[in-house]
Amino acid sequence: MKITARLTVLACALGLSVPAVPAYAVPIAPPEPRPAAPTAADTVRTARYDLGDQAFQPPASLGYVGRAELAADVYYPARLGTGRHPLVVMQHGHWDTCADAAAAAENAAALKARDRALEQGDEAEAARQQAIIERTSARLWAWPCAHGTAPIPSSAGYDYLARELARRGFVVVSVGTNGINATDSGQADTVYQARAALLDRHLRMWQTLARSGTGPLRGALTDTRTGAPVAAGFRGTVDMGQVGLLGHSMGGGGVMQEVADSSRATWPAGVRIKAAFALAPTGTWDEQPVTRTPFAVMWGTCDQVNSGLYFEHNRAANRAPIFDYTLTGGNHNFYNRQWSPSGGQVASRDDALPGTAPGTCQSQYAGTDHPQQDQPRLAERAQRQITVNRVTAFFERFLQDRTDRHPLLTGERPFPGEPASTVTTEYDAGR
């Protein structure tokens, strides 16, 4: 029998009863946290690999036109030892690809001038400004970027989260998708399949590296501080049977496509994806059910992407536990530091609609839980701390078998230090 619990995080413990589920049973008295393995590190090292900005071609069967990079940022415990570390692969969403500050400034000015011309009924001036918008947009969304223009490293925007996971014993790979972002216009029917195929390619490369120390990644990783080749031995230390995925925005849609029931047969041999976490995901929740993989979705009330639909659609038939977290006053961009104002990156911005009072944003959803009115705006740091709390607990629960994390994830127990009534939790245990 299925049980759905709707809870508010940081409220008093509700004494929620969770039915026994054979594959994901939670003991009545969760055991004490297991001590960290001797190989778990208290420091983190970072590396990067880049096999070429046109190295990935989506399968011809998809009909997707365009190539993308095979590149990623890697975060791992400084002392890998001989243990087996779960792997978490991240994928960023749809964003500008090139850090062309001049083009961004010209584009922003043209947008304002076009809107002003339209208000004044000056169609000729509006058309002139539109031409500038299209020209500068082409520079901002090029791939590869023009000579001398650096790519926007959206894959590095989750470093705060990746480092915390690595501190807890995970190997984390945050993959670049600038090439897909530059080519996905008009290909919405296949972009999520292309994103899932890109995840597959990275998983295959890591499977080969972890199994035999060979393949495309052999010798390809370089230390991000020194540029020197990475000497860490990933062979035998990365557990490809304990894999988690995390995606943001369209990257979240790609992740959910990858764990959809219809995609499981395409996973690389020997790879088991045990859990997925999606931050404000877009995508095809009504067409690709996910019933066999535990997943969590997080979204904010001031975010114009209603990601809660993934939870609503899939809980009708899910056999695995699923979670939905709604952040009062949360927005879309703050999950990625490269996209957030404090990062200072080209095109970074606060995308929440301002409320009528200072320090507020406009809720995007009507209803008793999230009325369409001004709500206290979550600061960047607060939104990212809430994200760290749940993402780390989620992957510890499902990739490290930390059953003590379960009450935190369901909302039975609060995360220390979070403001009251900020996060609403929905949980469904599955069948």
Rounded distance between C-alpha atoms, residue 383 and residue 365, angstroms: 19
- Domains of the chain are 4-98+153-428 (3.40.50.1820), 102-140 (no CATH)
pLDDT tens, 366-409?
655 556 688 999 999 999 999 999 999 999 999 999 999 999 99
Q: Note the pLDDT of residue 83.
A: 74
> Taking the mean position of all CA atoms in its chain, how far away is CA 28?
32
Mean pLDDT in residue range 155-180: 97
In the sheet where 171-175 sits, what is the strand order? 4-8, 423-428, 322-327, 295-300, 273-279, 238-248, 85-91, 171-175, 71-77, 44-50, 222-223
- The pLDDT of residue 285: 60
Give the pLDDT score at 2: 37
**CA 316: distance to chain centroid?**
24
Partners of 44 in the β-ladder = 77
Using a pLDDT cut of 70, give the percent of the chain over it: 87
pLDDT digits (tens, 9 = 90+) for 283-324: 866 668 999 999 999 999 999 887 778 898 888 899 999 999
